[in-house]
Structure 1
Amino acid sequence: MSLPKTAYILLWYPLPSETFIFREVENAKAAGMPFQVYALYGEARKHLSPQMAAVAPSVVRLGARAIPAILADMAWWAVKRPVETARILATLPWRRWSCLEVAGENVFAMCAGFSLARRFLADGIRHIHAGWANGPATAAWVASRLSGIPFSFSARAGDIYPQDGALADKMRDAAAIHTNNKANIAYLSGILPEAAGKIRQIYNSLTLTGRDAASVHLEPPYRLLAVGRFCRTKGFDVLIDACAILARRNFPFQLTLVGSGLPWPTALIRRRIRIHGLRARVFLPGFVSHDRMSELYAAADIFVMPSVVHASGDRDGIPNVIMEALAHRIPVVATDVSGIPEVIEDGVTGRLVAQRDPEALAEAIMALAADRDQALALAEAGRARVAALFDPATNTQAICDFFASIPTRRHS
């Protein structure tokens, strides 16, 4: 199998909240995939696991300190390829971006693409891949247009929901696209039907396996666990409302809500807990490093993932924490958003409820708690499904096959 020397572009690498990408890259490298990672931003130093810290020095980084070099490279390309440079600068920054933050990310990514194009030619790169469809794919697209090196990208969740102002064009020009759930295939194909044949679905590899099944005592007080970034797609406000319903029904529980986020969404969650009088029942330990999560999974009775679709269209793909919980044989309650039903099938591998319905969420939690045998049967079935769909060896081979199948001929 011929594997091309490939530039893998991300905003940050390694990033503690993106363990699934870390495993994708490092597993593929261990299997012989010649990846060189390029990060558009600087280094994320907080909460790195020992494995992440070990690979951090190998990453080629840009960031603010690279701005003088980026400007020089833009000038160099303006001389070498004046028409294409003018076309990029005249069109790409002025797309209809969803917000100023997205616009800023993509404009910087565009500029970074000029530098990366020169680096890729010097480094002997034969293929360019972006780990996300937003800024990283914009940088890959620009670098490909300038250098002639083919590019591909991954399409996952918030990077395509809602689509950015250049997604259809990136899809049109990409040599291939891979996505980590089946729900995204129909969505992407609807954006650009002629690109449907380029899209390949490859599930993420499981990043945290449960060596031993959780005890799942399911005895009062029932131990609920939820994990994720405090952001608009996780639905933790709905979960807090569901906890208020449980409290009113005198259901004995404790919720550990693991995660962190920007100050504003964190403050809103804390305020909701306070308004509902749940401070004695809901615990917020903050960010917990990936290598310590097994301790929390082992102590849980029920895992809850209340994902929602934001008004903007932003949503989760398949939250990796669902697979991690099932790998530890924990019964799961989740919402029917995006690719989640590919893992949680109601009454088969867990309980699936409608999004933004705290009453349904509370009912599903109480139903699992009322029948331990059924809850464990669902969790065992979920564990088997996760082992089959998210097997690291199988999916790493699929990643390598994906890159081996992409033509590496330079285009003009």
Structure 2
Amino acid sequence: MTESKTSESVFPQAFAPGLPHVACVLLWYPLFTQPFIFREVQGLRKRLPVSVFSLYGASLRHCSTEMRTAAQQTHTLGTKAIFAILAEVLRQFCLHPLLMGRLFRRTMFRRWSCLETMGENLWAFCAGVYLARRFKEAGIDMIYAPWPRGTATAAWVAGSITGLPFATCARGDNLEPADPDLGAKLDAAFLVRANNGADKVRIENFDRGQAKGKVELVYNGLTLPPLADEAVAPEAASAQADTPGAPASHCFSEADPSFMRLDEVPASASPVPMKRPVRLLALGRFDVTKGFDVLLRACGLLQDRGLDFTLTLAGGGGAVMGLGYMQTELVRLRKQLGLEARVSMPGLISHNELPKLLKEHDIFAAPCVVHASGRRDGIPNTVIEALAYGLPVVSTTVNALPEVVRHGKTGLAVPQHDAEALANAIALLANDSALAAGLAHNGRLLAAHMFDPEANNDRLARVFINNYRCWKESCVE
């Protein structure tokens, strides 16, 4: 049996000659928890010839109609392709025993953190051997693995067999705790993409600095449609704002997409509180890096102070997604703090439901933390979406969050693990609606500029084209 696929030799539009044909390798595609990857890949498909390969079977639960349509244009491996994959691995071992032995040793002889990670890399090794042949047949020019773990293993193996260059991307908790082969992968990759400035620095300084000189910063693109009313275009952000409490001037730099000067939003002299109850929102995977337990403790403090509020804590996953038992802990903590009447936990939310959910709330909270293991978020996409939908954001100063939640300008930032500081920031916004509106206005401008999907997809496509051209020229020399 072979993998399910559609004919991707016929692309939806004609591309200019000389553009690299990119193979994008993912574990699953599409996946409802990774809308930013979906938007990125679909954006690249409009600019370059791109073929998508999914190492595992289809996982379309909670996927939107658009995602389900895209799944029909994906080469999906999984159990359906197991016999074809194993046959190709056996063939390659018979034809090239020394090369295959070296690649297998390089891939598998590591101190893996757990059997699950080792199993993922074993499957990725086998899939990479099989994909090498498929890439040759499809005329692939370069390989892109948006994650540096199993997908990068498959890309590295396939690239080693075919001589094709591969690129990868590292972010957030990929860097700490890191897989034992990450340094070698960064060394072997001809291009490494970072999606925020903090992680770019971390990648360049990782291990022995193998990635220095080849890390490109390209921010993610917004994954939700713009607000129907007064959607903010990047070019409009330089105009003077008339909104009370909003900044008077803005400045953009085309050379650095992360740069944007925004004036600080002052607190009101005579603050007017938000309408009660104040509707708080937090959403994301129930993972230890999200700090949702700290948020519940902050809500306990707010309740003790008499603030009339509700919190929608949307998300889940837990043990099913390999994230531990945080959901059980959050349910226990909500009961312990007497917050059951104020805190609703509706579970996992489809991406289609997010716009409505964002519009129905007043303040967004992202109390991210660095776990004891070193795990951390980069810039949670939920924060970007909240800013884009005009919600004032309260977050922590973890990793890359200060790049978007700029204290006193686009939101309020507090130290991690500090429930009292988090409660104080939420209360400040709840009791000063003009301050909240000014921060939300700035945040919306920043999100529209910094995470413009068309601009960022253009930039990523240019990065691929230019780096591939340089690689090809170096091969000729």
Q: TM-score range by the shorter chain?
A: over 0.9
Is the Cα contact below 8 Å between 2:107 and 2:153 reproduced in 1?
no
Q: TM-score normalized by structure 2?
A: 0.83
1:205 to 213, 217, 221: 221
Give the superposition deviation at 1:244: 1.1
Distance 1:97 1:217, change over 3 A: farther
1:389 has 2:406 as partner: no
The residue aligned with 1:326 is 387
For residues 282 and 391 of structure 1, what CA distance do their matches in structure 2 show?
33
Quote the residue 2:262 is aligned against: none
Aligned counterparts of 2:116 and 2:316: Cα–Cα separation in 1: 20
Equivalent residue letter for 1:210: L
Q: Does 1:222 align with 2:278?
A: yes
Q: CA deviation at 1:341?
A: 0.6
Compared with structure 1, are the counterparts of its residues 303 and 155 closer, same or farther at alpha carbon in structure 2 (3 Å cutoff)? same
Please say if 1:107 is aligned against 2:128: no
Extract unaligned runs of 5+ from structure 2. Answer: 1-15, 232-271, 320-324
Q: Distance in 2 between matches of 1:220 and 1:99?
A: 48
Aligned partners of 1:353, 1:103: CA distance in 2, in Å? 38
2:362 matched to which residue of 1? 301
Is 1:149 the equivalent of 2:178? no
CA shift at 1:270, angstroms?
1.0
Give the distance between the partners of 2:360 and 2:278, measured in 1 at CA. Answer: 10
Deviations 1:257-276 (A, max 9, x none): 11121253222211111111
Between the aligned partners of 1:218 and 1:324, the Cα distance in structure 2 is 22
The residue that corresponds to 1:77 in the other structure is 92
What is the distance in 2 between the residues matched to 1:87 and 1:105? 19
Distance 1:38 1:194 in 2: 27
Alignment check: 8 A CA contact 1:148 1:411 kept: no
1:19 aligns with 2:75: no
Counting aligned pairs with the same residue, the percent is: 44
Amino acid in the other structure paired with 1:259: G
SS in 2 for 1:112: helix
1:185 maps to 200
Secondary structure in 2 matching 1:108:
helix
| Structure possessing the higher radius of gyration over alpha carbons | 2
2:176, 2:31 → 1: CA distance?
21
| Deviations 1:28-67, CA, capped at 9 Å, x for gaps | 212x311111011110121110100111111111112322
Aligned to 1:249: 305
Figure out how many residues of one structure are paired with residues of the other and give that number: 410
TM-score (normalised: structure 1): 0.95
Answer whether contact 2:175 2:202 (CA < 8 A) is retained.
no
- Asked whether the 8 Å contact 1:149–1:411 carries over to 2, the reply is no
Which amino acid is the alignment partner of residue 392 of structure 1? P
**Cα distance between partner residues in 2 of 1:399 and 1:90:** 33
Say which SS state the counterpart of residue 399 (structure 2) adopts.
coil
Counterpart in the other structure of 1:237: 293
1:175 to 182, 190, 194: 190
Distance 1:122 1:149 in 2: 13
Give the AA of the match of 2:227: G
Distance 1:356 1:116 in 2: 45
Q: Once the 2 structures are TM-superposed, how far is the Cα of residue 308 of structure 1 from its aligned partner?
A: 1.1
The C-alpha deviation readout for 1:220-247, integer Å capped at 9, x for no partner, is 1110000101112111111111111111
Kept in 2, the 8 Å contact 1:134–1:160? The answer is: no
Q: Which has the higher helix share?
A: 1
Partner of 1:370 in structure 2?
A: 431
CA distance in 2, matches of 1:126, 1:379: 43
The C-alpha deviation readout for 1:146-196, integer Å capped at 9, x for no partner, is 111110012122333322111111111111010100101111111242421
Alignment partner, residue 112 of structure 2: 97
Give 5+ residue unaligned stretches, structure 1: none
1:325 partner letter = A
